[in-house]
Amino acid sequence: MPENTPTGLTGLAFGGDYNPEQWPESVWREDMALMREAGVTMVSVGIFSWALLEPSPGAYDFAWLDRVLDLLHENGIRADLGTPTVAPPAWFYRAHPEALPVTAEGVRQEFGSRGAICHSNAAYREASSGITGQLARRYAQHPALAMWHVHNEFGVPVSACYCSSCAVHFRDWLQTTYGSVEAVNEAWGTAFWGQRYGSFAEIEPPRVTPTVGNPAQALDYRRFADATLRENFVRERDILHRLAPGAPVTTNFMTALSQCDSLDYWAWGREVDIVTNDHYLITDGRRTHVNLAMAADLTRSVAGGAPWLLLEHSTSGVNWQPRNPAKAPGQMARNSLAHVARGSEGAMFFQWRQSRRGAEKFHSAMLPHAGTDSRVWREVVELGASIEQLGPLKGTRTVADVAVLWDWHSWWAQTLQWRPSEDHDARERA
Ligand SMILES: [Zn+2]
């Protein structure tokens, strides 16, 4: 049985996403020294590195990742090692353009961002199994390995694809779920507006229609899309369990109801060895501390009450909202420790060193552009010391006094088109 806590971590986890491939190796030594100064115990590596690890089909370059993992081990830092399957290389799409996702409007989304994946696509499934197997075989015995981090934030930014491969996959899912096309007609109420189907072959994904489409079809497509993403998680997880037994396997959830609306995390929580979560503050005037508390409690619930781990949050502002205010002095520590109080086995961030290039260069980090002579860095070092002192909390449970019932499928049903009032929002407390 795989462990359900990061291997080799004696206290709480403190650290962040570490992307050394974005920097010259001369910077890596400084990273190690500063990580030690900050009390970093674990970092997430390799999450978007497929194009560097497999620069051309079947040709691998693991030397740089070997050096990174060896350096981490020499410095007593554990590695949450990513399978980079959220970021297939450009060469993959050149060979398999049909693996790019298609929107409900029929627009194929292009390479050049991240997460552009049709999860039903056979070539994607084969290629992602290939790189996952390579990593599992190479690093199963590496002494820095603490756990496996499959993919990244399933469901974000693409939660469903509407291409012809997904249509075939959807029909298979319907056949398994309902058994007969008559049962589909009954469940979807297709007598309404003449939508009756004579065979599974006549059914398509709920693409754009002249006016509102069949609501039960739309709801089933959300269930199907969620199940399809989970199939790909389970496929990678099983490869890792088989080739690298022992280390726990996770994928980072986004349980805040304002950040990911496409996964049924009750079902996902049953598939991971350890529940991990990413949480970011939405600064549109809502009470962010309420959102944080609910997300953390929901994450603990998804974990069945067991400890979980905050795998990403931010030291200060993010960069993907219209306005991204910096956190006030002390706000980072308060938020980090609020997660710990609600059952997190530590506090990790996106990311360790603030990027100098790319779409997230204005996103805050543990080591900001301003360097170590900065408030953020001083607060990070202070928080690292606090997290170290809280080591005895590892493995302890948080007990709730009250319960709130929450069901993702019910929420999805409440968001379908044409209902009594759009003002009703099941998430109003979130
Ligand atoms: Zn598709």
Span 279-296, pLDDT tens digits: 999 887 668 888 999 999
Longest dimension (CA), the chain: 70
Q: Across residues 309-316, what is the average pLDDT?
A: 98
Q: Find the distance separating the first CA and the last CA of the chain, reported in whole Å.
A: 36
Q: Across residues 354-379, what is the average pLDDT?
A: 98
3-state secondary structure of 17: strand
* pLDDT for res 130: 98
| pLDDT surpassing 60 at residue 429 | no
- The rounded radius of gyration (Å) of the Cα atoms in the chain is 22
What is the whole-number distance in angstroms between the Cα of residue 162 and the centre of ligand 1?
A: 5
What is the whole-number distance in angstroms between the Cα of residue 148 and the centre of ligand 1?
A: 26
Q: Across residues 256-270, what is the average pLDDT?
A: 94
How would residue 365 be classed by pLDDT, with cut points 50, 70 and 90?
very high
What is the whole-number distance in angstroms between the Cα of residue 26 and the centre of ligand 1?
A: 42
What is the whole-number distance in angstroms between the Cα of residue 185 and the centre of ligand 1?
A: 24
What is the whole-number distance in angstroms between the Cα of residue 423 and the centre of ligand 1?
A: 32
Strands 78-83, 13-18: parallel, antiparallel or unpaired by DSSP?
A: unpaired
* pLDDT for res 425: 82
* pLDDT for res 1: 64
Strands 249-250, 42-45: parallel, antiparallel or unpaired by DSSP?
A: unpaired
What is the whole-number distance in angstroms between the Cα of residue 255 and the centre of ligand 1?
A: 24
Q: Which residue has the tokens 């609306």?
A: 261
Query: Active site residue: 54, 236, 312, 345, which one?
Result: 312
The H or E element spanning position 349 is: strand 344-349
* C-beta separation of 85 from 132 below 8 A: yes
244 or 288: which leads in pLDDT: 244
Rounded to whole angstroms, how far apart are CA atoms 76 and 29? 14
Average pLDDT, the chain: 96
What is the whole-number distance in angstroms between the Cα of residue 99 and the centre of ligand 1?
A: 7
How would residue 144 be classed by pLDDT, with cut points 50, 70 and 90?
very high
How would residue 427 be classed by pLDDT, with cut points 50, 70 and 90?
confident
Question: Torsion over CA of 93, 97, 99 and 100, rounded to 10 degrees?
Answer: 90
What is the whole-number distance in angstroms between the Cα of residue 119 and the centre of ligand 1?
A: 6
Give the model confidence (pLDDT) of 150-208 as tens digits. Answer: 999 999 999 999 999 999 999 999 999 999 999 999 999 999 999 999 999 999 999 99
What is the whole-number distance in angstroms between the Cα of residue 178 and the centre of ligand 1?
A: 21
To the query of whether residue 153 is one of the catalytic residues in this protein, the response is yes
Q: Which two tokens stand for residue 346?
A: 């530590």
Rounded to whole angstroms, how far apart are CA atoms 305 and 165? 38
For ion ligand 1, residues whose CB falls within 5 Å: 118, 120, 161, 163, 165-166
| pLDDT surpassing 80 at residue 428 | no
3-state secondary structure of 13: strand
| pLDDT surpassing 60 at residue 430 | no
| Domains of the chain from N-terminus onward | 13-160+221-402 (3.20.20.80), 163-204 (no CATH)
Where b means 16+ CB within 10 Å and e means fewer, 30-39 reads: ebbebbeebb
3-state secondary structure of 339: helix
Query: Active site residue: 153, 236, 345, 379, which one?
Result: 153
Task: Concatenate the DSSP letters of all residues of 288-309 into one string.
Answer: HHHHHHHHHHHHHHHTTTS-EE
Rounded to whole angstroms, how far apart are CA atoms 29 and 212? 58
Give the model confidence (pLDDT) of 36-95 as tens digits. Answer: 999 999 999 999 999 999 999 999 999 999 999 999 999 999 999 999 999 999 999 999
Give the model confidence (pLDDT) of 83-119 as tens digits. Answer: 999 999 999 999 999 999 999 999 999 999 999 999 9
